Chain A
Amino acid sequence: MQKSFSCARWASLFLVILFGFAGQAQAGARRFTYVYEATTAAPGPFEFENWVTWKTSPRDERRFNSVDFRHEIEFGVTDHLQLSIYLADWGYVEDPSENEHGFNYQDSAVEVIYNLTNPTTDLLGSAVYGEVKAGRQEVELESKVILQKNLGRFVFGYNATLEAVWEGEHLEEQGGEFSEALGVSYEISPAWLVGAEFLHEIDIPDWSQAEDSVVYGGPNLSYRHGNWWATITPLVQLTNVASEVDVQTRVIFGFSF
């Protein structure tokens, strides 16, 4: 219990520090935290985005807790091409069942998004996404199809994602994951947006047998003021897969420079 509180306190401290640096920034704000949007950043400003994802299983006797952090620098290369560099993915994990406690560096990554069609003026907005992650004894390739439609004050987003992972000292362990993310956002005012996101994941260890699929759902809230923005999505597991976390909450906070 004490360690859970400590974990949350680290996350809070991290957010406070980040908000403190957000003085004179510009923004290209996200409506969702799990769903990627089809629009890409215009060439010019660089954007700094910080992700915090807290996963926990309060009902589980394992008392699993983890907080993952990502720090992303994002910029537009052309009107349709966006490049992102994830400086470091790291986190704090507390997993009594694996006797694992403490901070760890996971990987760094490069991500490319190419916008194909415009969600406002075309019948459907779309983009393709590719990401390469590399860490200690881990390489991961991720690809997505991103779809989006803006209808009045509503924005609908859908992602289909396929990940391939190689792990181990000689990258001898292989596996994959297929996931889908669906989101809807409504713009109450230029500053406040509310909506919902759903996440559906299927692990495929060794590319042989798919494990039980897990579905999460929950509301999202986004706020932008001046030149910074923040979006939060708490997701609750809607299935009953004991090996997966019950609750995950993601906050993304961004500003440009």
Chain B
Amino acid sequence: MTTRKISLLGLGLAGVLVLSACQSGPTAAFPTAETVAATRGRNTEDVATLERGRKIYTSSCTECHVARPIAQHSVEQWRQIIEVMAPRAGLEGADRVALEKYVVAARESL
């Protein structure tokens, strides 16, 4: 009986979580590319590049650690962090550029 309850509880939880996952949205701690581009006004960065950078920040970087809120560090601190962390994450070329552009633009937009 206990086993059945635990199993049903687990399956029910999984079902609810899967359904709730269908709804997704931006997190204030990690502004979307559109938000960053809109709030910066004079921003000339390509939105697609910013979106790519956000994706890297919230997926590749979180393979090893939780994503820190953008507001936690200054632009200069973020540049130093990326300098250290990008090689560890295997980020090179366009991906690294996109990450830095997003983090810097997002920080400046706050």
Contacts and interface: CB of A to CB of B under 8 A. Distances in A.
Interface of A: 26-29, 39, 41-42, 44-45, 79, 115-126, 145, 147, 150, 152-155, 158, 160, 178, 180, 187, 190, 200, 202, 210, 212-213, 215, 224, 226-227, 229, 256
Contacts of B60: 42
Interface residues of B, number: 36
Which of A42, A212, A215, A227 lies at the interface centre, i.e. has the most chain B CB atoms within 10 A of its CB? A42
Contacts of B74: none
A160 B17 CA distance: 12
B3 interface: yes
B39 interface: no
A120 B58 contact: yes
Report the 4 A-B pairs with minimum CB-CB distance, sorted nearest first: A213-B3, A122-B24, A124-B21, A28-B63
Contacts of A224: 64-65
Contact of B23 (A123, A178, A180): A123
B66 A28 contact: no
Given A42-B59, A158-B13, A202-B7, A147 B65 contact: no
B44 interface: no
Contact of B66 (A79, A123, A153): A153
12 contacts: A42-B60, A42-B95, A124-B20, A125-B21, A126-B21, A150-B62, A158-B10, A158-B17, A210-B3, A213-B3, A227-B88, A256-B90
Given A160-B10, A212-B3, A256-B90, A123 B21 contact: yes
B15 to A, nearest CB: 9
B24 A215 contact: no
Nearest to A200: B6
B17 A79 contact: no
B26 interface: yes
A120 B27 CA distance: 8
B110 interface: no
Contacts of B102: none
A158 to B, nearest CB: 7
A137 B86 CA distance: 45
Nearest to B62: A120
B25 interface: yes
Contacts of A124: 17-18, 20-21
B21 A215 contact: no
B94 interface: no
